[in-house]
Amino acid sequence: MADDAPCQFCFEPAGTLQCSKCKAARYCSTAHSVSDWQRHKPECNLLSTVGLKGQNGYPFTVKAVLFPADGDTPRIVDVRYKLRQVRDVPTLQHDLDLGSWVGSGPDTITIQKSGVNGPPLGRSIMLMYNGNFFNDGSPLNRSIQRLAGGRCHPWGGHMLGFRYTDPSAIIARYEDVKTEDVEVFKKYFREGGTGQSIREYFRLSRCSFVARAEVPQ
């Protein structure tokens, strides 16, 4: 690993200190290694046994909130992931198995405030969705339309909400979504959350936008 690999706990430069068991996780201090142990422990056990290349499929799970296209209410689901290392960012990251949910290359929306004019969250949450839903025939998202009473943009297909670790530009790592995160996602849709890709589409095709913005019965 490169000497500038970030600490798994605070993401500052880690130096040469590494997990004594798996040799993969890097830390800037012994204190941060201890603080990160409960999170790192299940990953460490696998890495020290079979290594990154020996992972069988997606052996870990993280809880996300699913806004289903074909259901009336959001629910908590387990999304599988495996560990990976990127050459330019030599630290452990999470590779989500999203194919059955939102496709393998989803668009994302980062939410940083509670509501349009609300206070900063002090944490990072993210929505993932199929950015091509207008063109691939994805059904209107029924749970979001019901949640917002039809007063939101016509999202299509499933949407997933995650809590993730900052700074996202350094490492892709996800944590179990919490009840307070789900409420922020709901507020986002109730207040007409759009996402950049929807705004661009709206400018290009207002008629299609209006035609799809119907509340399912």
pLDDT above 90 covers what percent of the chain? 35
pTM across the whole model? 0.79
Alpha-carbon distance 114 to 187, whole Å?
Answer: 7
How far does Cα 94 stand from its chain's mean position?
Answer: 10
pLDDT of residue 116: 72
Across the range 17-35, mean pLDDT stands at: 90
pLDDT tens, position by position, 50-103 = 888 888 889 999 999 999 999 999 999 999 999 987 665 557 788 999 988 998
Terminal alpha carbon distance of the chain: 55
3-state per-residue secondary structure call for 118-173: CCEEEEEEEEEECCCCCCCCCCECHHHHHHCCCCCCCCECCEEEEEECCCCCCCCC
From residue 184, how far is each of 39, 131, 163 by CA, in Å? 24, 21, 11
Classify 174 as helix, strand or coil: strand
CA distances from 108 to 17, 36, 56, 152 (A): 34, 27, 27, 18
Q: Pick the residue with more confidence: 54 or 6?
A: 54
Both tokens of residue 186? 């709901």
Strands of the chain, DSSP E: 60-67, 75-86, 89-96, 107-113, 120-129, 159-164, 174-175
pLDDT in tens, 98-138: 988 998 788 888 888 887 778 888 888 999 999 888 888 89
pLDDT of the residue at 199: 44
